[in-house]
Structure 1
Amino acid sequence: MESITKIIANLERSVNDLQRDNDGMKQALLNVSTNVEALNRKVNMLEGTLATKVGITHVQQLIKQYEEDSQNG
């Protein structure tokens, strides 16, 4: 049978291991959060670029339609 001292030492090691795991998980979560924020900024930038492209395409279509209407009548 293990001595009380060994049991306490094992428990302390287990607690320390759990604390390290907890700290590691916190760091991993922070890294994921940082990456998600960066990805969100990129998505927002792409949405803005896409909206600009859609606007330009719409204006080009209006100009083309205007030119066709002018030529036809």
Structure 2
Amino acid sequence: MAGIQAPGVGSNLDINSIVTQLVSAEKAPTEKRLNSDEALAQARLSTLGIVKSSVSDFQSSIRALASLSAFQSKT
């Protein structure tokens, strides 16, 4: 009569290490994609800040020319 067998028991395999490595291998592509998406979002946010600053500078320049005398004094 055959008894209950548990493969790996007594085989000196480091099961915890194997499982940890498998989990890391499974989540690596997802982490890479998320990091890439985050970098893209940060770049877009930075670009948006630059555009906002440029528009603000432009608005300030236009306000300076709002009066006719200030506009006429420019050459």
**Same fold by TM (over 0.5)?**
yes
Letter in 2 for 1:28: K
| Structure with higher helix content | 1
TM-score by length of 1: 0.65
If asked which structure has higher relative contact order (CA below 8 Å, sep 6+), I would say 2
Moved beyond 4 Å, runs of 4+: none
**Alignment gaps of 5+ in structure 1:** 1-5
Counterparts of 1:27 and 1:61 in 2: how far apart (Å)?
53
1:9-67, CA deviations, whole angstroms, 9 ceiling, x for partnerless residues?
Answer: xx23xx34422220101223332221111011011111111111111111110010122
How many residue pairs match? The answer is 63
**Alignment gaps of 5+ in structure 2:** 1-8
Counterparts of 1:18 and 1:70 in 2: how far apart (Å)?
74
Comparing 37-46 with 16-25, which one deviates more in the overlay?
16-25
Counterparts of 1:25 and 1:36 in 2: how far apart (Å)?
15
Counterparts of 2:66 and 2:42 in 1: how far apart (Å)?
36
Percent identity between the two aligned chains: 8
Are 2:18 and 1:19 equivalent residues in the alignment?
yes
